[in-house]
A and B are shown apart, each in its own frame.
Chain A
Amino acid sequence: MKLKYDVVIVGSGIAGPIVARNVAKEGFKVLMIDKKAEIGTPKRCGEGISIGAFKKYDIPYDKRFINREIYGAAIYSPSGYKLEVKHNHVAGVILERKIFDKMLAYYAAKAGADIMAKTEAIGLIREDGKIKGIKARHEGNSLEIYADVIVAADGIESRVARWAGINSFLPPHELDSAYEYEMIIENIPDPDLIHLYFGNEIAPRGYVWVFPKDEDRANVGVGIAGDNPRTAKYYLDKWIKENNIKGVKILEVNVGGVPVGGFLRELVKDNVVVVGDAARQVNPIHGGGMAEAMEAGTIASRYITKALEDENLELLKGYTEEWWSKDGARLMRVLKIRKISEKLSDDELDAAVQALSGADAESLISGDYKKVFKALIKNPKVLLKPKLLKLLTEAI
């Protein structure tokens, strides 16, 4: 079967539906396909997102996909020193991605986009040396989807970008290997906060997270450096065993890779546009990528709309430029900090957490690392750790 659209989007996660909705809203003919029979499943996510994302990206605050409102975060050092920030207002939420992703696709559909689940991209259509669309398959039937613009929103395992000749290979060190249980946990220290546990024995390069969905139910997961010889599963099971976690009953097992670095330089090639995990657009410190995918999707939509309006596909390249000058530049700064923090010993992590105040944590969350580092290098606990001091000084 042959189909013709202005834009075909491969992948209905976070970035895909944002692009589909925004471009369809401008009156263009959009098709979004997803290989999964059920959009949103299985999740590969801790499901936490900051409250600001709803307004910023025009997403309804719909209780159907909000499990729990969260008021802040607690960070634990290897020896158990705690740094806590708790607001008197909602700071973020723990979503139900199964419903959230499906609703994002629904909003795209309401804006006029066509959606096809259980439809997998299997190759590009090339004619006269030009990319003309996507070959796909649905229940054994072949589809030829012709489109002026092709959007690769096909996640960590993206094939569309590679087909187009974009090298999206991610070295194992730039990947976090993640494993998570959605489970009953009866002793969450404070179910109104997210809890993050750091340490080289706990989660090499990463952290263990407890994201409460109820007072006694949470996403409990771990991310570790992808080149670590042990598995993420090993570290999560070890943490649960060693920390006297009560009432463990496993409701879901979630597994995934998180790109933490290696942001694609080339976000557009000819008429192919790459967004979200496929473009490695994830915060390399905490591994969250939903807000980043929304941001990239929003920028990409503007340039796709412009390129279609002006019938000039060269304009798509503006997306690469704008993303790199804004979110790309920010994420590169975050990556620089990550590269320093991953070198810290447990002893140094303890010292850093002890030296930090609640106000510092606020600055860290808002991304003002320099301010915090400047304060830290004057702290007596930090002054006693020459390597930590040197790393912090380098970062400033």
Chain B
Amino acid sequence: MPKVEIIVDKEKCYLCGSCVAVCPKEAIIIENDEWNFFFDKCISCKFCVLACPVGALNAEEVEQ
């Protein structure tokens, strides 16, 4: 599975936290009203992309 980076569309995101709940590795954190992604923790499962109620998240493949 290629390694991905999760990109948020801030215009669409409501900071609802669905992505945080379905992340097995705490690679997404919402703090101080900001959405943060931690590439090193991400295991590229893309659960967050699936779970987002508004389609605000995208997985972009990264070359290793």
Interface residues of A (CB under 8 A from B): 42, 44, 120, 122, 137, 155-159, 162, 168-172, 175, 177-179, 226-229, 231-234, 253, 255-257, 259
Q: In chain A, what residue has the closest Cβ to B22? A: A172
Interface hub of B16, B26, B32 (most chain A Cβ within 10 A): B16
B8 in the interface (beta carbon within 8 A)? no
Contacts of B39 on A, CB cut-off 8 Å? none
For the complex, what is the distance from the CA of A122 to the CA of B21, rounded to whole Å? 17
With A175-B51, A255-B14 already in contact, 9 other A-B pairs whose C-beta atoms are closer than 8 Å: A44-B16, A120-B32, A156-B17, A157-B16, A169-B21, A171-B47, A175-B22, A231-B54, A233-B54
**By the criterion CB–CB under 8 Å, are A169 and B55 in contact?**
no
Contacts of A232 on B, CB cut-off 8 Å? 53-54
Contact (A233, B21) CB under 8 Å given A44-B16, A120-B32, A122-B31: no
Contacts of B7 on A, CB cut-off 8 Å? none
Nearest Cβ in chain B — how far from A223, in angstroms?
Answer: 9
Q: In chain B, what residue has the closest Cβ to A140? A: B32
| Number of chain B residues close to chain A: CB under 8 A | 21
Between A and B, 7 residue pairs with Cβ closer than 8 Å are A155-B17, A156-B18, A156-B20, A178-B53, A232-B53, A255-B16, A257-B22
**By the criterion CB–CB under 8 Å, are B22 and A255 in contact?**
no
Q: Which of A122, A234, A257 contacts B18 (CB 8 A)?
A: A257
Q: In chain B, what residue has the closest Cβ to A226? A: B51
Q: Which of B14, B21, B32, B53 contacts A170 (CB 8 A)?
A: B21
B6 in the interface (beta carbon within 8 A)? no
Contacts of B22 on A, CB cut-off 8 Å? 169-172, 175, 226, 257
Contact (A159, B29) CB under 8 Å given A172-B22, A175-B21, A226-B18: yes
Contacts of A162 on B, CB cut-off 8 Å? 26
**By the criterion CB–CB under 8 Å, are B17 and A157 in contact?**
yes
**By the criterion CB–CB under 8 Å, are B50 and A179 in contact?**
no
Q: In chain B, what residue has the closest Cβ to A255? A: B14
Residues 1-52 of B at the A interface (beta carbon under 8 Å): 14, 16-18, 20-24, 26, 29-32, 47, 50-52
**By the criterion CB–CB under 8 Å, are A231 and B52 in contact?**
yes
Contact (A172, B47) CB under 8 Å given A155-B17, A156-B21: yes
**By the criterion CB–CB under 8 Å, are B20 and A157 in contact?**
yes
Q: In chain B, what residue has the closest Cβ to A228? A: B50
Contacts of A231 on B, CB cut-off 8 Å? 52-55
**By the criterion CB–CB under 8 Å, are B50 and A233 in contact?**
no
Contacts of A159 on B, CB cut-off 8 Å? 20, 29
Nearest Cβ in chain B — how far from A196, in angstroms?
Answer: 19
Nearest Cβ in chain A — how far from B53, in angstroms?
Answer: 4
Contacts of B18 on A, CB cut-off 8 Å? 156-157, 175, 177, 226, 256-257
**By the criterion CB–CB under 8 Å, are A257 and B53 in contact?**
yes
Sorted nearest first, the 4 A-B pairs with minimum C-beta distance are A157-B17, A257-B18, A157-B20, A255-B14
For the complex, what is the distance from the CA of A169 to the CA of B51, rounded to whole Å? 13
Nearest Cβ in chain B — how far from A143, in angstroms?
Answer: 14
